[in-house]
Amino acid sequence: MEKAQCRYCPADAIYTRGHEGASFCSKCFRKAVEERVRRTVTENDMLKFNDHIAVAVSGGKDSLTLLNLLVKMENRFPRSKITAVSVDEGIRGYRDEALDIARKACEKLCVEQFVVSYHDLFGITTDEIAGMHLGQTPCSHCGVFRRKAINRAAQMVGATKIATAHNLDDEVQTVLLNMLHGDPWRIVRSGPVLHDPRGKFLTRIKPLCDIPEKEVVLYAYLNGFDFQSITCPHGNAALRNDIRNFLNQLDQKHPGSKFTLQRTAERLRELLSQTAPVAELNECAKCGDPTPHQLCEACMMLDAIAA
Phi and psi based region of residue 182 (left: phi greater than 0; alpha: psi -120 to 50; beta: remaining): left
Contact yes or no for 162/151 (Cβ under 8 A): yes
pLDDT band at 131 (very low <50, low <70, confident <90, very high): confident
Q: Can you give the pLDDT at residue 139?
A: 82
Phi and psi based region of residue 158 (left: phi greater than 0; alpha: psi -120 to 50; beta: remaining): left
Over the range 159-197, which residues count as b (16 or more CB within 10 Å of their CB) and which as e? bbbbbbbbbbbbbbbbbbbbeeeeeeeebbebbbeeeee
Q: Can you give the pLDDT at residue 1?
A: 57
**Torsional sign, CA 145, 150, 155, 156:** positive
**253 within some domain:** yes
Q: Can you give the pLDDT at residue 43?
A: 96
Q: Which domain holds residue 78?
A: 37-276
**304 within some domain:** no
Q: Of residues 77 and 121, which shows the higher confidence score?
A: 121
Whether residue 297 is predicted with pLDDT greater than 70 in this model: the reply is yes
Task: Return the closest-CA partner of residue 63 out of 172, 191, 226, 195.
Answer: 226
Mean of pLDDT values over 172-196: 88
Residue-wise pLDDT for 187-201, tens only, equals 887 899 998 777 778
pLDDT band at 281 (very low <50, low <70, confident <90, very high): confident
**211 within some domain:** yes
List Cβ neighbours of 131 (8 Å cut-off, separation of 6 or more). none
Whether residue 93 is predicted with pLDDT greater than 90 in this model: the reply is no
Contact yes or no for 126/91 (Cβ under 8 A): yes
Contact yes or no for 16/4 (Cβ under 8 A): yes
Task: Return the closest-CA partner of residue 231 out of 102, 63, 140, 95.
Answer: 95
CATH of the domain at 59: 3.40.50.620
Strand partners, 162: 54, 204
pLDDT band at 218 (very low <50, low <70, confident <90, very high): very high
Residues listed for the chain:
307
**255 within some domain:** yes
Helical ranges in the chain per DSSP H: 26-43, 61-74, 94-109, 118-122, 126-130, 138-157, 168-180, 213-222, 238-253, 257-273, 297-306
**95 within some domain:** yes
pLDDT band at 6 (very low <50, low <70, confident <90, very high): very high
**222 within some domain:** yes
Burial of 63 (0-12, 13-18, 19+ CB in 10 A): buried
pLDDT band at 40 (very low <50, low <70, confident <90, very high): very high
**70 within some domain:** yes
**139 within some domain:** yes
Number of domains in the chain: 1
